[in-house]
Amino acid sequence: MVKIGTKDVLARVYDGLYVPPTLRVRPGDTIKLRLVNTLGTRTSLHYHGLEVSPRGRSDNVFVHLGTSEVFDYEITIPRNHGSGLFWYHSHQHGLSESQVGGGMSGGLIVDGILDPFPELKGIRERVMLLKDAEIDGSTIGQKNDPARSTRTLNGLINPTVKIRPGETQFWRIGNIGANAYYRLQLEGHTLYKIAQDGNRLNQIVGSQEIVLPPGSRVEVLVRGGAPGTYMFRSLAFNTGPEDQNPEVILATIIAEGPTQQPLPLPAKLPPVADLRKQPVAHKREIVFSEGPGKFFINGKQFDMDRVDTTVNLGDVEEWTIRNASDEMHTFHIHQLDFQVVEVDGRQVPFIGVQDNVNVPVGGVVKILVSFTDPVIVGKFVYHCHILSHEDKGMMAVIEVKPPR
């Protein structure tokens, strides 16, 4: 049992905690983690966003633990790995929604994202992990109904967060739930984005609202406003006829105490490689569609024994993601990031790369994907990160092969 708000509820969790420890590493480190399955059902573990090997004891989503089984993961973080906010979660097909929605997810940070900015050294960091729990009596259920879900920040309902007027804080915000979207707004403040999905941007982007689909993360700088109380909200967001995400207060921000002189925001961020300058080796079309109780990629439901896409190591490819349904989906691929270049035919200004993107209702998203890092050789998956959709078939297997 765990406590969410004032309720004691039966949940599926790691180490007895609704919000388990946030793992912290640096490039070049190795994560050694033992997973012991006492659920009574099968489970697995995925290290979302890490560009690491998909084979053996590393980030291998084809490893499944039965009841009472134990598995020792060993994840080597490359020395050139990017810094930022990632997460870990269950990836058991058919059960991912109930296990992640029940609490089986946590944060993972590769440290060093602020290293290029000595002017920001020592500022207050806040890790804000967002989970949606559909509480049915004394149990966390999962019915893919965001309107019924209880939204939590670090497992708390509307906690108080303090900041001094003028103070600059670094907020690392992750949507580590199963199905819900978050449309973030901090009343009276601008959110200055410096990273998305664990990838530093090539420029600071000031935003009044930020949409986080399931699985996405954003890292922002926040300057405390005048003394007072401000609401950190998720605004209402409609993702389809049966998927209404209502407005909810995530936290109450209190600006109080001695006023601080605002720190200057970094004038320049390190460059990020623009994939539009690379030759495209292959073009593909990925179509998301639905039928009664079923979800498809290119007309097929997930089969872990079938390879749907084969790619040559070293290639850069252009993928067109089409949403042939009346509700939003997300596109996520394991082991690497991609660059969004168009949404519904409109070019997207280049600010960086990501591992998860929203695909509008009836919309088209065009991305560039670089399969150039030898560490990703092997089999992994791409899918919709609305886990209800993934569980019902909206996932496919990709294999990256080394040159002959």
d(CA 335, CA 54): 7
> Measuring CA to CA, which residue among 49, 62, 51 is closest to residue 374?
51
Is residue 132 within 8 A of residue 177, CB to CB? The reply is yes
**Helix locations, 318-397, DSSP H:** 387-391
Q: What is the mean pLDDT of residues 125-154?
A: 84
Q: Which pLDDT value is given to residue 141?
A: 67
Core vs surface per residue 61-93: b (16+ CB within 10 A) or e: bbbbbeeeeebebebbbeeebbbbbbbbbbbbb
d(CA 252, CA 232): 6
* Token reading at 205: 């982007």
The strands making up 329-333's β-sheet, listed across from edge to edge, are: 309-312, 395-401, 378-383, 329-333, 356-359
d(CA 115, CA 133): 35
Determine whether domain 275-401 maps to CATH 2.60.40.420: yes
Residue 17 contacts by C-beta under 8 Å, 6 or more apart in sequence? 2
Residue 265 φ then ψ, to 5°: -70, 150
Tell me if 2-110 shares its fold with 275-401.
Answer: yes
Residue 73 has pLDDT above 90, yes or no: yes
Instruction: Name the average pLDDT for the chain.
Output: 95
Residue-wise pLDDT for 330-365, tens only, equals: 999 999 999 999 999 999 999 999 999 999 999 999
Q: Which pLDDT value is given to residue 64?
A: 96
* Token reading at 200: 């530093």
Residue corresponding to tokens 């890092």 = 373
Q: What is the mean pLDDT of residues 183-201?
A: 98
Residue corresponding to tokens 């007309």 = 299
Q: What letter would DSSP give residue 391? A: H
Residue 137 has pLDDT above 80, yes or no: no
* Token reading at 329: 């989906």
Q: Which pLDDT value is given to residue 358?
A: 98
How close are the terminal C-alpha atoms of the chain, in Å? 53
* Higher-confidence position of 172 and 148: 172
Is residue 181 within 8 A of residue 237, CB to CB? The reply is yes
Residue-wise pLDDT for 226-270, tens only, equals: 999 999 999 999 998 777 889 999 999 999 999 999 999 998 999
Other C-beta atoms within 10 Å of 197: how many? Answer: 26
Distances (CA, A) of 377 to 52, 58, 185, 237, 404: 9, 12, 39, 38, 13
Residue 28 has pLDDT above 70, yes or no: yes
Residue 49 contacts by C-beta under 8 Å, 6 or more apart in sequence? 84, 86, 87, 108, 197, 198, 217, 337, 355
Q: Which pLDDT value is given to residue 143?
A: 64
- Coil, strand, or helix at residue 56? coil
Domain locations along the chain: 2-110, 118-255, 275-401
Question: What's at 211, amino acid-wise?
Answer: V
Enumerate the β-bridge partners of residue 100.
Answer: none
* Token reading at 228: 């007072």
What CATH code would you report for 2-110? Answer: 2.60.40.420
* Higher-confidence position of 2 and 385: 385
d(CA 272, CA 250): 32
Pairing of β 395-401 and β 309-312: parallel
* Token reading at 69: 């089984």
Residue-wise pLDDT for 274-333, tens only, equals: 999 999 999 999 999 999 999 999 999 999 999 999 999 999 999 999 999 999 999 999
d(CA 393, CA 151): 26
Q: What is the mean pLDDT of residues 28-48?
A: 97
Core vs surface per residue 256-270: b (16+ CB within 10 A) or e: eeeeeeeeeebeebe
* Token reading at 230: 């401000």
Residue 31 contacts by C-beta under 8 Å, 6 or more apart in sequence? 23, 25, 47, 73, 74, 75, 77
- 118-255 fold: Immunoglobulin-like (2.60.40)
Is residue 29 within 8 A of residue 77, CB to CB? The reply is yes
- Coil, strand, or helix at residue 275? helix
- Strand residue runs (E) in 235-279: 237-238, 244-245, 248-255
Instruction: Please state the pTM of the whole predicted model.
Output: 0.96
